[in-house]
Amino acid sequence: MQSPSLPNDVIGTASDADLINRRIEALRQQIITRPKLLALIETNDLYTSDRARKPLSSIIDTMRGEIALTSMDADLNAAKPEDRTIAFRLSYRYSDPVKAQAIAQDLMEQIVELNSTVDVANANQAVQFLTEQGNNLKRQIGALEEQIAKLNLQYGGVLARSNTPVTGGSVGYDMQIADLMRQNQSLQLQKSDVATSDQRDPAVASAETALAAARAQFSEDHPDVRLAKARLEEAKRLAAQNIKKVPVNNIDEQIKFNNEQIGKLRAAKAQEMGAVSATISSQSKAPAVQQLTTQLQAKLDGLYKQFDAISARLMTAQAGSRAANEQLGERLVVVDPPVVPDKPASPNRLLIFAGGVIGGGGLGVLLALLVEMLLRPIRTPGRVAQITGSPTLALIPIIAGDGKADDRPSFWQRVFRNPFRRRPKEEDAA
């Protein structure tokens, strides 16, 4: 396992021995799965004799036990432990050296391929996962920004004037309306004066005075009275004609205009009062809105920080993915390919010889102890004295038969003679 060709801050990986060991163990578990081992057994015709008399599961367990994948530090760098190269040893034990080499070669190729595939897959999955996380954070950030913008649009003016007292212009509207109403009253009086001005005409008044004087002196049939009446009628006619010449329409138009202005002022007053009421109602909500805005902004700031962290990790993951695709990161490199062994790993002849010698010696000692325990032979005069309790003057052996050489017992007869035979009595020994 070689260290990366690129700096760790670029691809975001570091050589962790424990992590690499776990990954190698995971690779080992993948190459010793039942289907792959069955394929190797069938392809290379392994365990031919065992397959005829043992179950297949037992053969697979045997093959798993013969596959060994051990790690060792090939380059210890005390200054930078993360830059060290970790080596792994792959071995397979089998009775046929050629097949053992072929199986080891196949397993080695599987491990290298699986490691490369796993590295690329892990890097791509990391990029995909971080991209999805970044997109999710973007959606959350967009939703919060939109929510804050709506709150600012709806309550922005209220929040800006939250400490400003609310005042309305209703007094100014009332003064303008009162002034226009006074103008209308004055115009109405002018219009009334114009309507009755024919009764106040000087000519009519003079004619009425002359008629009254004539009636005081003469009767109604007197010519002077009739003449005064005719003059009065003529004066009234002329006064009515003069009234028609007065511009009364201008007064009506002015009154109508003033009434329209009064209506507009009253509508503006009502609108302003509604706005003031709405402002007061909104200002009552200002603390809650401000608190909600503060909470949303704090949450948005947190999402910004998360997005920055995810973006940095995504850039690192993308660099790691590219390094994995281009074999620039940590990778397995075959240093010493499997070869056909020139000597068997087992059995060890010297060890077998030494084991035989030690085992034979131990067995002989055990047999000697067994003979001593079962037969209990008498070998010395002291033993006889110990048995009889008296000192021994001489030892006389008992010889069966006529004493010829052919009647002597053989070695095995002496060894396996009846251990329960009666021991000689004390007087026989004497």
- The b-or-e profile of 100-133 (16+ CB within 10 A means b, else e) is bbbbbbbbbeebeebbeeebeeebbebbeebeeb
d(CA 241, CA 237): 6
Which pTM does this prediction carry?
Answer: 0.42
Q: Encode the chain (430 residues) as per-residue pLDDT tens digits.
A: 444 444 444 444 544 556 666 777 777 888 888 888 899 888 888 888 888 888 988 999 999 888 888 776 555 454 555 555 667 788 888 888 888 888 888 888 888 877 777 777 777 888 888 899 889 999 999 998 998 888 888 776 555 555 555 555 566 777 888 888 888 787 777 666 655 555 555 666 676 777 777 777 777 777 777 787 787 777 667 666 665 555 556 777 777 888 888 888 888 878 877 777 776 666 666 677 778 888 888 998 999 999 999 888 888 887 777 766 666 656 666 666 777 776 666 666 677 788 888 999 999 889 888 877 887 777 677 777 777 777 777 767 666 655 555 555 665 665 555 544 444 444 444 3
Which tokens sit at 300? 């948005």
Our CA dihedral for 371, 373, 379, 383, rounded to 10 degrees, sits at -170
Q: What is the 3-class SS of 158-226, one letter each residue? A: HHHCCCCCCCCCHHHHHHHHHHHHHHHHHHHHHHHHHHCCCCCCHHHHHHHHHHHHHHHHCCCCCHHHH
Q: Nearest-CA neighbor of 408 among 416, 419, 400, 396?
A: 400
How would you label 68-81 residue by residue, b for 16+ Cβ within 10 Å and e otherwise?
ebeeeeeeeeeeee
| Rounded distance between C-alpha atoms, residue 356 and residue 363, angstroms | 10
Report yes or no: 70 and 89 within 8 Å, Cβ to Cβ: yes
Asked if residue 391 has a cis previous peptide bond (ω within 30° of 0), the answer is no
pLDDT at 4: 47
Count the Cβ atoms, other than its own, within 10 Å of residue 197: 15
Q: Which residue has the tokens 């397979």?
A: 92
Q: For 32, which DSSP code?
A: T
Q: Is the dihedral of CA 148, 151, 153, 157 positive or negative?
A: negative
Task: Check residue 233 and give its pLDDT.
Answer: 76
| Structure confidence at residue 17 (pLDDT) | 55
Give, as one character, the DSSP assignment of residue 89. E
Distance CA 201, CA 239 (A): 6
pLDDT value of residue 139: 92
Amino acid found at 43: T
